[in-house]
Structure 1
Amino acid sequence: MKWNKFTIETTTQAEDFVSAMLNDLGIEGIEIEDNIPLTEEEQKGMFIDFPPELPEDDGTSRVSFYLEEQEDAKEILRKVMLGLEEQRQFVDVGAGTISSSQTEDVDWINNWKKFFQSFYIDDILIKPTWEALKEEDKDKFLIEIDPGVSFGTGKHETTQLCIRQLRKYLKKGDRVLDVGCGSGILSIVAMKLGASHVVGTDLDENCMTSTYENMEVNHLPKEMGEFYVGNLIDDVALQEKVGTEVYDIVVANILADVIIPMAPVIPARLKKGGVFITSGIIDFKENEVKEAIEKAGLTVLEINHQGEWVNITAQKN
């Protein structure tokens, strides 16, 4: 299916008014482009290490919307132009011009799958659920994953660093806490390595669905895992749910700027002698994260690098 894309040249001051007007006309799926810098709070909420470099904010904004090819674009555009003229009375809408282009209906959710193919992390085979298992791989240590809309195929260096450390430190019967579980790949690896029970947390409720679905694909009983939505850093109720001094291993593959404020709550989750495995740390933040972990009372056992990413493994004495 082809879609007609219409873009209104307006101002950042008016973009919310224009969006509301389009919504009132029954137009959904609005796209806004501007050069307003992200605030510190927005950057924290997005968990990004590198804020996008934008041109200087010149006060302009582009508000786009899409109509199906067969829709009566002429009548809708007439109403949009009238709406813009009405808004000129109380807000600067800028040029208010509308340009158009045509786009194909792309299946973004599934098209990326061609880039995710089976691969090995040492002797562990990570296979997407939609790919057939080769005959020669049928006796391999297998993890099947469908990330869905969650993070985690296992290909990223940070995930591989964590998997190798789980392989090294996890003992049969261990209890594991997976902070920022994403697609559940680390939880599933832990279960297949012999963990008796895994608890996971994530800010995104979609991750709960992905994790349970991936457990089912890997023939793991649902009872082996409990997964909660929430922020372990400051959610006291969540901290109580996951428990105190009950985990042999806590694994967190997140980002340096999350690990640092989270470090103080990790020791309380670990048993004495328990191990904290973490990654998602860009190399120039290694010392900052290491200091936060040590300040929390944990002893660093080892630091590993893969590309520009770092794993820090520490222990509760």
Structure 2
Amino acid sequence: MKWNKYTLKTITEAEDIISSTLMDLGVEGVEIEDKVPLSESDKKQMFVDILPDIEPDDNIAYISFYIDSEVDASELLENVKTELKELSNLMDIGECSIVSSQTEDKDWINNWKQYFKQFTVDDILIKPSWEEVKPEDHEKLMIQIDPGTAFGTGMHETTQLCIRQLKKYITKTTKLLDVGCGSGILSIVSLKLGADHALGLDIDPNAINASKENAQVNHIPDEKFNVQIGNILEDGELQGSIGIEKYDIVVANILADVLISLTPIILKNLKTGGYYITSGIIDMKEEAVVTAVNKSGLEVVEVTYQGEWVSVTARKK
């Protein structure tokens, strides 16, 4: 199927009202492109430590929407132009020119699947549901992950670093706290390795759904794995409710700057003698994370590397 793409050129201050106007006229979804700098909240929810270079904000925004090429959109476009003209009498909305183009049908939700292939982390096979296990991998411990819109296929170096550290410290009595659980992969790997119980925390509702679905696919019993939404950095009650000095291992594969803030907080949930396994750390941030770990009174046990990424494992004295 082909789609007609209509792109409006406007200004950033008018993004919201124009998007709302388009929705009121029957447009089901819009795509916004601008150069507005990321907020601190946005940065905390991104999955990389080195953010892309963005050109200076020029106050220009492009709002696009798509209409089936076989549908006559002339009436809709006339209504859009009429509404934009009325808006321009009330506020500055920029030039609001409309450019049309044509694009092929895209499955935006599932396009990522072409890049996710099965792979191994040592003797662990991680695969998507749509691929068959290769004969040479039948003896490996299999983890099936379909992340959907949550972070974490296991392909990223930071996840693999955490998996290798978990393999060293998981026992049959391990109670694990997975902070920023994403797809649930680290909790599921831990339980497959024999851990007694895992609790996954995340601030993204998509992560909660993905973790539960992946646990079911991997035949993880409900009583072994709990997932809940919450921000342990900001919610003091959450920190108490999940258990003080309860966890043998706390694993956190998130941004270095978040780890620096998280480390002194998470100490209360970690048992004496318990392990704190972290990654998501670009090599240039290693020293800052190690310093934060030491200042919190934890003992650094090991620092491991894969590519330009770092994992810091520490122990509560």
Q: TM-score normalised by the shorter chain: which range applies? A: over 0.9
Find the counterpart in structure 2 of residue 207 from structure 1: 207
Q: Corresponding residue for 1:176?
A: 176
Q: 2:265 matched to 1:265? A: yes
Provide the rounded CA distance (Å) in 2 between the counterparts of 1:194 and 1:41: 36
Residue 161 of structure 1 corresponds to 161
Which segment drifts farther, 225-234 or 106-115? Answer: 106-115
**CA deviation vs aligned residue, 1:86-140 (integer Å, no higher than 9, x gap):** 1121222222211101112211322322222221111111121211123332222
Distance in 2 of aligned mates of 1:137 and 1:117: 14
Q: Deviation at 1:166?
A: 0.6
Query: AA paired with 1:300?
Result: V
* Equivalent-residue separation in structure 2 for 1:206 and 1:129 (angstroms): 18
Alpha-carbon distance in 2 for matches of 1:110, 1:85: 38
Provide the secondary structure at the position in 2 that maps to 1:257. helix
After superposition, residues 172-251 of structure 1 pair within 5 angstroms as 172-251=172-251
Give the deviation of 1:39 after TM superposition: 3.0
For 2:44, the equivalent position in structure 1 comes to 44
Task: Tell me the SS of whatever aligns to 1:188.
Answer: helix
Q: Which residue of 2 aligns with 1:152?
A: 152
What displacement does 1:47 show?
Answer: 5.6
Q: Give, in whole Å, the separation in 2 of the partners of 1:204 and 1:40.
A: 16
After TM superposition, list the pairs within 5 Å mapping 1:60-71 onto structure 2.
60-71=60-71
Q: In structure 1, what is the equivalent of residue 302 of structure 2?
A: 302
Q: Is the 8 A contact 2:9 2:97 kept in 1?
A: yes
Q: CA deviation at 1:71?
A: 2.7
- 2:10 is matched with 10
Percent identity over paired residues = 55
CA contact (8 A) 1:13 1:91 kept: no
Alignment TM-score, normalising by the size of structure 1: 0.95
Q: Which region of structure 1 is more displaced relative to structure 2, 67-76 or 283-292?
A: 67-76
Using the TM superposition, name which of 161-170 and 200-209 deviates more. Answer: 200-209
Contact 1:47 1:257 in 2 (8 A): no
TM-score (norm 2): 0.95
SS of match in other structure, 1:311: strand
| Distance in 1 separating the partners of 2:45 and 2:143 | 30
- Comparing 29-38 with 183-192, greater Cα deviation is found at 29-38
Q: Distance in 2 between matches of 1:23 and 1:212?
A: 33
Q: 1:51 to 1:141 in 2, by over 3 A?
A: closer
The change in CA–CA distance for 1:39 and 1:134 in structure 2 (over 3 A counts) is closer
> How many Å separate the matches in 1 of 2:23 and 2:109?
25
The yes-or-no answer on 1:291 pairing with 2:304 is: no
**Partner letter of residue 237 of structure 1?**
E
Would you say the 8 A contact 2:49–2:280 is kept in 1? no
Shift, 1:251, TM fit? 0.6
Cα 1:214/1:20, change in 2 over 3 Å: closer
Q: Which runs of 5+ in 1 are unaligned?
A: none
Q: Distance in 2 between matches of 1:48 and 1:138?
A: 33
Q: Contact 1:47–1:258 at 8 Å: present in 2 too?
A: no
Q: Contact (CA 8 Å) 2:182, 2:211: kept in 1 or not? A: yes
* Paired letter, 1:307: G
CA RMSD of aligned residues (A): 1.6
SS at 1:162 equivalent? helix
CA separation in 2, counterparts of 1:114 and 1:32?
25
CA distance in structure 1 between the aligned counterparts of 2:46 and 2:165, rounded to whole angstroms: 27
**Structure 1 pair 98–120 and aligned structure 2 pair: CA distance change class (3 A):** same
For 1:20, give the aligned amino acid: S
Match in the other structure for 1:105 = 105
Please identify runs of 4+ aligned residues in structure 1 that moved more than 4 A: none
Q: Unpaired runs of 5+ in structure 2?
A: none
